[in-house]
Amino acid sequence: MSIIASVYLKEGIIMSADSRITGTTTHTDGTKDRHTLSDNGQKLFLIKSESVGISSCGAQVIDGKTIADFIRIFEQEEVNDADTVETIAEKLSKYVVGKYQGDLIFHVCGYNDIKKCVYRIINDTLTLEADTQDHCGVIWNGEPKVISNILTGANAIPIEWNFMQLKDGIDFAEFLIDITCKIHRFQTGLGTCGGPIDILLLTKGYTKWIRHKIINP
């Protein structure tokens, strides 16, 4: 599994993701062994002339392709200059249905002119999570328990979303992934979240990789 988060503030959107890929080996005696395949999986992408961010969790292989290849081919085959964040989210939701049956989640984020757009795709269900400048908050998926305990549990931390500055949002998006990975490191059993944290910033005027394990480590 994975952990992805998208923080949306008045000044911009910050997307973050871990890098761990896990797999299961079935032995001849029928027993199964879960293990880490890589800590360098790419789960956060920038498409459409570097204006729309997509993060993913769940399946790591779709239609025989890695998530990175799947998103690249989706962009080549389906995305054109006239597309908006909304139409890209709609196209991706339909594109996945015909190629994969199982648990798969995407966050699709960006701006239509000055309008902030945050979409979440869970299997074949597309949901608009934020579409106004004043709508601030965070969505997360993958291994949600750690973040859920922090933000929605019995002892949840209150967050002043409307006053959170962009740099604070970047730090917060990193914190959510980092704390999840660290809990998974020390918990009993296989830690399914880990590896480098990728962070993408999208604003009305520009996009920037705050951290990317290859481009900007």
131 burial (CB, 10 Å; 0-12 / 13-18 / 19+) is middle
For residue 217, being part of any structural domain is answered with no
pTM for the model stands at: 0.94
For residue 170, being part of any structural domain is answered with yes
Asked if pLDDT for residue 79 goes beyond 90, the answer is yes
Give residue 163's domain range. 3-25+34-211
For residue 83, give the CATH number of its domain: 3.60.20.10
Q: Measured between alpha carbons, how far is 173 from 59 in angstroms, rounded to an integer?
A: 22
Domain count, the chain: 1
Residue 76 tokens, joined = 């080549």
For residue 158, being part of any structural domain is answered with yes
For residue 131, being part of any structural domain is answered with yes
For residue 216, being part of any structural domain is answered with no
Asked if pLDDT for residue 80 goes beyond 80, the answer is yes
For residue 193, being part of any structural domain is answered with yes
Instruction: Return the pLDDT at 127.
Output: 96
3 state SS of 103: coil
Q: How far is CA 215 from the centre of its chain?
A: 18
Q: Measured between alpha carbons, how far is 118 from 129 in angstroms, rounded to an integer?
A: 5
Q: What is the pLDDT of residues 151-210, one digit of tens each?
A: 999 999 999 999 999 999 999 999 999 999 999 999 988 889 999 999 999 999 999 999
3 state SS of 183: helix
